[in-house]
Structure 1
Amino acid sequence: MISADPNRVIAIARSWLGTPYHDQASLRGVGCDCLGLARGVWREVVGPEPFSIPPYSRDWGETGPREVLADGARRMMIEMPPAEACPGALVLFRMKPRAIAKHVGIQTGPDSFLHAYERLGVIEEPLTPSWARKLAFAFLFGKWVAVFFGKRDALIA
C-alpha cells in the first residue's frame, strides 16, 4: 500500500468546510458527521468504500472490548503512531478516558485539523493540547498497488 498525496487529502477535506452536521450522513455541502467526512474524503482520494458502514452510536463515552473505528481503518489504511500523525492523516480521538475512540478528523497542518462537530458542522481548528491528549490513533489514506513479477502479482503493503 502506498500513501495518498497528503496535499490532495487536505484540499479535498477542506472542500467540505461549512457542510452542516448530520448524524450518519456523508454528502458534501448537504450534511455529514465526523465519520461521514472521512468517508467522503476516502471516496474522492481512494475510490469506492470497500465495505458498508453499519449504524453506529454517537455516545462518546461508550466503552467496549474493541476499537471498532480503529479496527476498520486498519483494514484499509496505513497505521502510524499517533505522536507521528502528519498533515493528511486521519486522526481518531478518545473523547473520554477509558472510552473507545469515536471521533474522527483529518490533520491539515502540524497543529490543525478538520472535523465535523455537532451544531458547528465541518470546521478547521487548532490541534490544541486538549485535543492532542485525546489523540488515540492515526492512519494515512492509501491505495493498493499491483506490482507484477513475471507471472505473479503482489500487493505492496
Structure 2
Amino acid sequence: MVDVVHLAQAWIGTPYHHQASVKGVACDCLGLVRGIWRERYGSEPEVLPPYTPDWGEGGGHEVLFSAALRHLVPVAQVEPTRPGDVLLFRMRAGAIAKHLGVMSAVGEAPRFIHAYNAHGVIDSPLTMPWQNRIVARFRFP
C-alpha cells in the first residue's frame, strides 16, 4: 500500500479551490483527502453532493465527521499520532468540524499537510492553536 504521507506531499503546491480535487490543479481540504483515497483505492467510496463553504453550520450537522466515520478508521485518543493520520478540525468552539489535514511529521516539531483557503496545499507546523482544534483522528483502512 502506498504511503499516505508520500501521496499527500505530492499535492503540495496545488492551488486552493472549493470542491475541487485535482492534484496540481486545484483542491480544498476534503479534495486532498479524496485525492489520496483515489490514489490508494482507485475510486471514491461515495459520490459527494455539492457543498457550501459553511458546510452544515446552519443546521449544526456534522457532515464531515459523519463521512469520516463511514469511510476511515477512528483512532483512539490514547493512541499516539502517526504520520499519515487524518486530522479533523473544529475551526471554532461550538462549530461543526469542517477542516481536514494529514499528519506529515510527529515528535518535537509536528506538521500536517492541508489545503487552506488562499494558501493552497501546504505543509504547516501543527502549532498549539491547531492542536487545540483537533476533534478526531482517523486512518485510511
| Residue 33 (structure 1) aligns with | 28
Q: Unaligned stretches of 5+ in structure 2?
A: none
| Residue 89 (structure 1) aligns with | 85
Residue type of the partner of 2:95?
A
1:21 and 2:20 matched: no
CA apart distance, 1:62: 2.1
Select 1:98's aligned residue among 91, 94, 97: 94
| Residue 149 (structure 1) aligns with | none
Q: Is the Cα contact below 8 Å between 2:8 and 2:113 reproduced in 1? A: yes
Which is further off, 73-82 or 19-28?
73-82
| Cα RMSD for the two superposed structures | 1.8
- Secondary structure of 1:22's counterpart equals coil
Q: TM-score, normalised by structure 1?
A: 0.81
Dislocated runs of 4+, deviation >6 Å: none
Residue type of the partner of 1:45?
R
- Secondary structure of 1:75's counterpart equals helix
Q: TM-score, normalised by structure 2?
A: 0.89
| Residue 75 (structure 1) aligns with | 70
Supply the distance in 2 between the matched residues of 1:18 and 1:68 (Cα, whole angstroms).
27
Supply the distance in 2 between the matched residues of 1:61 and 1:70 (Cα, whole angstroms).
11
| Residue 123 (structure 2) aligns with | 124
Distance verdict in 2 for CA 1:105–1:132, change over 3 Å: same
CA apart distance, 1:70: 1.4
- Deviations along 1:119-149, one digit per CA (max 9) or x if unpaired, are 110000110000000000111001xxxxxxx
- Deviations along 1:54-76, one digit per CA (max 9) or x if unpaired, are 11121279264432111111111
CA apart distance, 1:32: 0.2
State percent identity of aligned pairs: 47
| Residue 43 (structure 1) aligns with | 38
Q: Is the Cα contact below 8 Å between 1:64 and 1:99 reproduced in 2? A: no
Q: Is the Cα contact below 8 Å between 2:56 and 2:96 reproduced in 1? A: yes
User: Which of structures 1 and 2 has the bigger CA Rg?
Assistant: 1
The number of residues matched between the two structures is 137
Q: Unaligned stretches of 5+ in structure 1?
A: 143-157
CA apart distance, 1:46: 2.4
- Secondary structure of 1:136's counterpart equals strand
Residue type of the partner of 2:40?
V
| Residue 133 (structure 1) aligns with | 132
Distance verdict in 2 for CA 1:16–1:22, change over 3 Å: same
